[in-house]
């Protein structure tokens, strides 16, 4: 269990434009986000001595970013080969690295040309190696196709329906209207959602997250040092990473997953809440990994915000909108802000906890949950100001 409650903090955040076509190298995007995070903290590149990143063979090694931005002595650099499940785990890793004395001031980043370069949501190599020899030959190839299967199982088990998924899409789009970073800011109605093109039943176009070129970076250091820096520290109160049995080597290994109406969240919930010394009722707002609308529902249930099977009704009636009981994805989420593989959720959490979210600021935010991942494996954090 994460045993460093409030001992480490996020002292700086940075990001690039989120676009469909950056026209730039992934390395330069990573560097821009890192430079911005360093400046936000009031530091210089020479103050940075560690890097943690994750990629899908679609990015650049952390050490090459250190080189580009002129960090004279990186003492730690780690690149996880991972999907979005790592987007909170890298921040927890930064805290662990500092606790171990391997570095003092660590940048966590994710950079990708996710639309103009390697598209995660697209088809894969048509030669079906390893586990995919039991999936791809049947035309089960993409992430939306993989996760639609889970969503259907939740519908079978609990009666979850399109109106509930639609409420998530519409609510997050409304949040994005107030976010200058967001890629999709045009309002949508429930009718627009229902009429959006069916991609892979039960998913419509508006159930599926965006594809984005861009980068985000988060600077982690000790709470003590963070208090002497430029910005109000955001403390890492708790965190957890993992999943249940049969996490698999690959998305499609989920053939072996015992119950497709639940995901990783239920398996890490206990560690998460105990590490933070908090529970769902202590959370003011949350930024939940929304690669798909339904991902929200499984995570709300798994983390104990509602009972199993009640995630669908939970998201209805304005509960997850600003002013509701649990405002979610206040920047618009991966569905409407952009898809920097989940790290953009941490940026928004920090902005909300600092009180600098502008038109979309939720009042009196003291705690924010962030999550990353949607299937067999994921990570989550409790942040506070």
Partner 1 sequence: MTYAKPLPVVDAETRPFWDACRDGKLKIQSCRNCGHKRFPPTFYCPKCNSPEHDWIESKGHGRVFSWIVVRHPVPRDVYAADVPYVVALIELDEGVRIASNIVGIEPEKVTANMPVRVIFKSVTPEITLPIFEPA
24 lies in the site for partner 1, by CB under 8 A: no
Tell the smallest beta-carbon distance from residue 123 to partner 1 (Å): 5
| Vertex 4: Cα angle to 102 and 50 (nearest 5) | 25
Tell the smallest beta-carbon distance from residue 166 to partner 1 (Å): 18
**Cα separation, 218 vs 188, whole angstroms:** 31
- Return the residues of window 174-233 that contact partner 1 according to CB under 8 A: 197-202
Cβ distance to partner 1 smaller for residue 46 or 156: 156
| Vertex 336: Cα angle to 184 and 372 (nearest 5) | 155
Cβ distance to partner 1 smaller for residue 119 or 178: 119
Contact 238, 183 (CB under 8 A): no
**Cα separation, 242 vs 256, whole angstroms:** 16
Cβ distance to partner 1 smaller for residue 210 or 285: 210
Total residue count of the chain as it appears in this document: 385
- Find residue 242's DSSP bridge partners: 378
* Residue 2 bears catalytic tag: no
Cis peptide before 202 (omega within 30 of 0): yes
Indicate which single residue of 81, 100, 127, 359 sits in contact with partner 1 (rule: CB under 8 A).
Answer: 127
Range in contact with partner 1 (rule: CB under 8 A) among 137-145, 216-224, 232-240, 293-301: 137-145
By rule CB under 8 A, what count of residues binds partner 1?
37
The closest alpha carbon to 231, from 39, 103, 71, 91, belongs to 39
Contact 358, 226 (CB under 8 A): no
**Cα separation, 135 vs 311, whole angstroms:** 29
For CA atoms 263, 269, 270, 271, give the dihedral sign: positive
159 lies in the site for partner 1, by CB under 8 A: no
Cβ distance to partner 1 smaller for residue 133 or 189: 133
145 lies in the site for partner 1, by CB under 8 A: yes
Residue 321's CB is within 10 A of a number of other CB atoms, namely: 19
133 lies in the site for partner 1, by CB under 8 A: yes
* Residue 339 bears catalytic tag: yes
Tell the smallest beta-carbon distance from residue 126 to partner 1 (Å): 4
Cβ neighbours of residue 94 under 8 Å, at least 6 residues apart? 8, 50, 52, 106, 108, 218, 220
Indicate which single residue of 122, 187, 318, 358 sits in contact with partner 1 (rule: CB under 8 A).
Answer: 122
363 lies in the site for partner 1, by CB under 8 A: no
314 lies in the site for partner 1, by CB under 8 A: no
Cβ distance to partner 1 smaller for residue 156 or 194: 156
- Name the active-site residue from 109, 235, 294, 339: 339
352 lies in the site for partner 1, by CB under 8 A: no
46 lies in the site for partner 1, by CB under 8 A: no
The closest alpha carbon to 353, from 116, 13, 21, 85, belongs to 13
CA distances from 93 to 54, 99, 195 (A): 11, 10, 43
By the criterion CB under 8 A, which residues form the site for partner 1? Answer: 122-123, 126-142, 145, 148-150, 152-153, 156, 197-202, 246, 252, 255-256, 260
- For the annotated catalytic residues, the residue numbers are 289, 339
């Amino acid at each position: 269990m994460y045993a460093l409650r409030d001992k480490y903090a996020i002292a700086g955040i940075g990001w690039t434009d989120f676009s469909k076509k950056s026209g730039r190298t992934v390395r330069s995007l990573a560097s821009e986000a890192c430079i911005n995070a360093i400046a936000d903290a009031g530091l210089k590149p020479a103050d940075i001595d560690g890097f943690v990143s994750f990629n899908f063979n679609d990015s650049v090694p952390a050490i090459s970013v250190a080189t580009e931005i002129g960090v004279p002595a990186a003492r730690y650099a780690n690149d996880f080969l991972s999907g979005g499940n790592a987007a909170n785990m890298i921040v927890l890793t930064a805290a662990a690295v500092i606790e171990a004395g391997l570095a003092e001031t660590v940048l966590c980043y994710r950079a990708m040309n996710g639309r103009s370069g390697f598209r995660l949501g697209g088809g894969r190599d048509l030669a079906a190696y390893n586990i995919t020899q039991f999936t791809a030959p049947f035309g089960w190839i993409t992430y939306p196709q993989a996760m639609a299967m889970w969503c259907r199982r939740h519908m079978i088990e609990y009666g979850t329906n399109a109106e509930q998924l639609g409420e998530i899409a519409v609510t997050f789009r409304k949040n994005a209207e107030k976010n200058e970073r967001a890629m999709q800011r045009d309002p949508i109605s429930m009718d627009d959602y229902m009429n959006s093109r069916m991609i892979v039943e039960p998913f419509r176009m508006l159930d599926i997250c965006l594809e984005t070129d861009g980068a985000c970076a988060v600077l982690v250091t000790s709470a003590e040092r963070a208090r002497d820096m430029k910005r109000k520290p955001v403390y890492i109160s708790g965190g957890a990473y993992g999943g249940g049995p049969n996490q698999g080597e690959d998305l499609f290994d989920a053939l072996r997953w015992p119950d497709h109406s639940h995901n990783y969240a239920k398996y890490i919930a206990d560690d998460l809440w105990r590490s933070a010394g908090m529970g769902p009722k202590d959370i003011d707002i949350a930024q939940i990994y929304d690669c798909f609308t339904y991902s929200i529902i499984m995570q709300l249930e798994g983390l104990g915000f509602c009972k199993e099977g009640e995630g669908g009704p939970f998201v209805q009636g304005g509960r997850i909108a600003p002013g509701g009981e649990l405002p979610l994805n206040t920047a618009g989420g991966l569905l409407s802000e952009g898809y920097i593989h989940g790290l953009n959720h941490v940026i928004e959490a920090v902005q909300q906890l600092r009180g600098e979210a502008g038109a979309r600021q939720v009042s009196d935010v003291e705690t924010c949950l962030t999550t990353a991942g949607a299937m067999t494996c994921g990570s989550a954090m409790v942040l506070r100001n």
